[in-house]
């Protein structure tokens, strides 16, 4: 599995927990090895209310370039994951869509937890991203998190 991160890679305990989650849930991770790759910490500007100025799909072309530069197009791993940034961004969905386009498959989302019980959460985005990509592209109202 290839994991793409923007700010900090997974720690060894987080990697172990993630592999355990995949095994416990009987989820196919594409093998037992995990490689981590950094992509640039450069995101498009959002407005003062922390909302994107474009529909979600409007950010994908610019973000897609980051994953191409990080090598996601040439690696074509059996499975990919996106480690969400420590600081929440309203563009998390656009990051996942961009990685999906470049890698050719929907990524798992890895979310760091603040609580002591678990260090990470793992989310399968296949159906979610299909809905987002096929939506009308209207900008949602309200704050994104």
What tens digit of pLDDT does each residue of 116-128 get?
A: 667 888 888 877 7
Average predicted confidence (pLDDT) for the chain? 78
Sole residue written with tokens 């386009």 = 101
What is the mean predicted confidence (pLDDT) over 71-82?
Answer: 86
Q: Is 37 helix (H, G, I), strand (E, B) or coil?
A: strand
Q: How far is residue 140's CA from residue 10's CA, in Å, rounded to a whole number?
A: 31
Evaluate whether 6 touches 38 at the Cβ level (below 8 Å).
yes
pLDDT number for residue 31: 57
In contact, 77 and 46? CB cutoff 8 Å: no
Q: Which among 62, 60, 125, 65 is positioned nearest to 97, based on CA atoms?
A: 60
Of the candidates 66, 53, 35, the residue with the CA atom closest to the CA atom of residue 139? 53
pLDDT: which is higher, 83 or 114: 83
For the stretch 19-59, pLDDT in tens is: 888 776 555 555 567 899 998 777 766 666 666 677 777 88
Round to whole Å and give the CA distance between 110 and 34. 13
What is the value of pTM for the model shown?
Answer: 0.78
Taking residues 67-75, what's their average pLDDT? 90
Indicate the angle between helix axes 92-103 and 56-69, nearest 10 degrees: 50
DSSP 11: P
- The angle formed by the CA atoms of residues 39, 78 and 137, to the nearest 5 degrees, is 60
């Amino acid at each position: 599995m290839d994991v793409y991160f923007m700010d900090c890679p997974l720690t060894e305990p987080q990697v172990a927990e993630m592999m355990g989650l995949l095994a416990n849930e009987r989820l196919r991770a594409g093998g037992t090895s995990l490689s981590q790759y950094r992509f640039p910490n450069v995101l498009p500007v959002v407005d003062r209310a922390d909302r994107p100025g474009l529909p979600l799909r409007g950010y994908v072309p610019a973000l897609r370039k980051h994953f191409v530069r990080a090598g996601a197009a040439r690696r074509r791993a059996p499975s990919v994951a996106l480690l969400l940034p420590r600081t929440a961004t309203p563009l998390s969905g656009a990051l996942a869509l961009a990685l999906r386009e470049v890698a050719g498959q929907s990524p798992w989302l890895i979310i760091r937890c603040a609580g002591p019980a678990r260090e990470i959460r793992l989310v399968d985005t296949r159906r979610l991203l299909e809905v987002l990509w096929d939506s009308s592209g209207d900008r949602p109202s309200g704050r994104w998190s």
